[in-house]
Amino acid sequence: MNGVIINCDTVVGENCIINTGAIIEHECMIGDNCHVAPGVVISGGVHVGENSHIGTGASVIQGINIGKHVLIGAGSVVVKNIHDGAKVFGVPAKEQK
């Protein structure tokens, strides 16, 4: 989409949406069927598992691993690894059950 920045050595899987104004820094891996919503910032070296959604305006610090089938709420700040199937929200992002 418009205004997206994807930096060097990043791989984006098949059937992904990288939405308006999103920034994906260097050496990231975005799995198949992911949605990176508008205004998301993903720092370098982040891995996002397949079928995951990163909500509008969320930020992910460098080196984080995000599992498969994860939902990250809008505006969240991810500072820890997230396991498969988790739903996280807030600043810092915490799992919601």
What are the pLDDT digits (tens) for 53-91? 999 999 999 999 999 999 999 999 999 999 999 999 999
CATH number at residue 42: 2.160.10.10
DSSP-derived letter for residue 76 is -
Tokens for 85? 């199937």
> Which one of 26, 47, 69, 83 is the catalytic residue?
26
d(Cα 34, Cα 51) in Å, to the nearest integer? 5
Q: pTM of this prediction?
A: 0.96
Please determine, for residue 24, whether its predicted confidence score (pLDDT) is greater than 90: yes
Q: Which domain holds residue 15?
A: 1-97
Q: Read off the pLDDT band of 97 (50, 70, 90).
A: confident
Active-site residue flag, 47: no
Structural domain total, the chain? 1
d(Cα 68, Cα 65) in Å, to the nearest integer? 10
Q: So what's the pLDDT on residue 77?
A: 98
What are the pLDDT digits (tens) for 2-19? 999 999 999 999 999 999
Q: So what's the pLDDT on residue 1?
A: 83
